[in-house]
Amino acid sequence: MSIDYTTNNYGDVTNGGRTIRLTDAAYPNNYGTEGGVRYYAPGVDDDGVKHLVVWDTTDAWDSRDADCDGDESEACDWGDPVEIRETDG
């Protein structure tokens, strides 16, 4: 099986015994959060199944100065997503 996704440099997450390789950078969005922000990133598992990985932001990130320098490395606990769901595409 060949997977047609570039997975380099975006990392991976392991959850529930499965490893999801991220296929793009995580991005913030407030969809479905009642005003909060979550980060989302597409990924693919070893079987080629597409997933969406979701992280909550940390309390420290939520209370930061809004004029930050763009470094989002501490925005979430990147090793502990709150949700990984299969997607259609």
Residue 20 CB coordination number (10 Å): 24
5 or 22, which is more confident? 22
Mean pLDDT, the chain, as a whole number? 82
Q: pTM for the complete prediction?
A: 0.81
The widest CA-to-CA distance across the chain, in whole angstroms, is 47
Q: 3-state DSSP call for residue 55?
A: strand
3 is a domain residue: no
The rounded distance, in Å, linking the Cα atoms of 55 and 53 is 7
Instruction: Answer yes or no: is 64 within a domain.
Output: yes
Query: Is residue 41 in some structural domain?
Result: yes
* Residues with Cβ within 8 Å of residue 3, at least 6 apart in sequence: 44, 48
Overall number of domains in the chain = 1
For the segment 77-86, the average pLDDT, to the nearest whole number, is 92
Measured between alpha carbons, how far is 82 from 64 in angstroms, rounded to an integer? 21
- In this prediction, residue 50 has a pLDDT band, given cuts at 50, 70 and 90, of very high
Domain that holds residue 25: 12-86
pLDDT digits (tens, 9 = 90+) for 28-38: 988 767 778 89
